[in-house]
Structure 1
């Protein structure tokens, strides 16, 4: 009888261990975000002296101060980020889909070799390419030009994101080739097969590419810092650095307030397309 009770207690503990562990891990992950949200309502002095989540004295004026802290409204920075992220999403979806179709369906010499080279570029850290890219774009006259976003967007039109190409290639390899053959028998050219067969079926992979492109571009800081020098052209991540000046003075309250607002588009975008994101990953051969 005692052994039976001990076994039941062990089973109960095992059932409770998993949810408790998940709750603990979730608390560890969410604590910095919740603390930042609470700090956005603290005065600069309280941010440095009060490490608790809730402020002793609420300062909602941080949001108004942060929004109009510079000569340019922070809304302008949001619009710049939205433009860069939106154009990057469109460029990646179009170029990577075309490149993936070539690797997955078309036959040409050294196809496997070029695909391996493309996959090999995933091993290169992005910061290694910053200097040669800057020199090349400077030669083209794109750096400091009338439209300084060209170095951030134009390369995406050339399918430079190998991860997205690989994602779509894996998805297209799961599409039965009998559909291609049936379309060819009906008189479709390779372009017709792409338009009428591959493109309609590639929606999950395109959604995954769009979501990752938007999130990564919106949160990108270093590349945008390198190429953007005009205050009116700044994006939200770069503009957040303006709250800390060269003399060491900082407006941490308004900075946290604008940081919270900067996270909102990414959070809402992810929540809105979360189901499609999971579906796209599961149907592209990347599931574990």
Structure 2
């Protein structure tokens, strides 16, 4: 009986220490955003800012030239929302087809779709760039947004596994009542896969919000830059980098991420755990 409290204490100490280890970089980032830039990387400097300054937030929010940091947040928000809508529509429709419809080569095409998960982005990056260049889509959001409306293999697989946990008797009952295939998808399947859709939306938000490589490849005009590109602009190889402003705007860019996580974290757990119940 005495061993259980001891094991529980050791467990909580271990987990708490591991949590502190993981959270320390975030704490350091937040604290450093209130330090003067020249004192951030001094080894003799304590973790507590001395002196405490909020000037970094004012400098960072001013942005660059004619564009304030609010412009980059607006651009990123529009970009994220468009990709989010594309993933929710396309992935749910494709997953419904793989999970419920019978067509020639279904298993073959599903296997091909799963195999694309093994392809690193660097493999398709150059061919995609050539295609989008020939379409005259460079320096626009089209190369970043349009592919989202053709599905994402990871989310399709997640939704397929979730749909397979839904009894087919519901489809049969809807068919008897005169519902079409699209009616089954819209009225039966879609409301029941909300947890998996929420997981898809949250991961899409995370991956799109901090995406740097895609915008760097396709966006050239500063007025179209995203948050991740704007943060990179605070660093300079020729002059002094404004680390304080960059850390301050990094904190600002993390606020939506934290808010989304704490509000919808239960959907992430539910969507992922339930998706593996039936193969």
Offset of 1:243 from its aligned partner? 0.6
State the partner residue of 2:62.
68
Q: 1:54 aligns with which of 39, 45, 48?
A: 48
Contact 1:172 1:198 (C-alpha < 8 Å) held by counterparts: yes
Q: Would you say 1:177 and 2:159 are equivalent positions?
A: no
Q: 1:266 aligns with which of 242, 257, 276?
A: 257
Q: Would you say 1:213 and 2:204 are equivalent positions?
A: yes
State the partner residue of 1:117.
112
Contact 2:34 2:244 (C-alpha < 8 Å) held by counterparts: yes
State the partner residue of 2:141.
149
* 1:109 alignment partner, SS class: coil
Offset of 1:228 from its aligned partner? 1.0
Aligned counterparts of 1:130 and 1:243: Cα–Cα separation in 2: 26
CA offsets, 1:255-283, max 9 Å, x none?
10000001111111111111222222222
CA offsets, 1:38-80, max 9 Å, x none?
0001111110215532112112111001111411100000001
State the partner residue of 1:84.
79
Bigger mean CA offset, 49-58 vs 187-196:
49-58
State the partner residue of 2:31.
38
Aligned counterparts of 2:258 and 2:118: Cα–Cα separation in 1: 29
Offset of 1:12 from its aligned partner? 4.3
Task: Give the unaligned 5+ runs of structure 1.
Answer: 1-6
Contact 2:196 2:267 (C-alpha < 8 Å) held by counterparts: no
Offset of 1:246 from its aligned partner? 3.2
Aligned counterparts of 2:71 and 2:265: Cα–Cα separation in 1: 28
Contact 2:35 2:51 (C-alpha < 8 Å) held by counterparts: yes
Offset of 1:217 from its aligned partner? 0.3
* Shift in CA distance, 52/123, structure 1 to aligned 2, threshold 3 Å: farther
Offset of 1:13 from its aligned partner? 3.3
Scaled by the length of structure 1, the TM-score of the pair is 0.92
State the partner residue of 1:106.
101
Aligned counterparts of 1:132 and 1:53: Cα–Cα separation in 2: 47
* Shift in CA distance, 11/279, structure 1 to aligned 2, threshold 3 Å: closer
Contact 2:171 2:188 (C-alpha < 8 Å) held by counterparts: yes
* 1:41 alignment partner, SS class: coil
Aligned residues: 276
Contact 1:35 1:53 (C-alpha < 8 Å) held by counterparts: yes
Q: Would you say 1:250 and 2:241 are equivalent positions?
A: yes
CA offsets, 1:128-170, max 9 Å, x none?
22111111110111013xxx000000000011x1000001000
Aligned counterparts of 1:199 and 1:12: Cα–Cα separation in 2: 46
Offset of 1:253 from its aligned partner? 0.5
Q: 2:229 aligns with which of 225, 238, 248?
A: 238
Aligned counterparts of 2:97 and 2:148: Cα–Cα separation in 1: 17
Scaled by the length of structure 2, the TM-score of the pair is 0.95
Bigger mean CA offset, 127-136 vs 83-92:
127-136
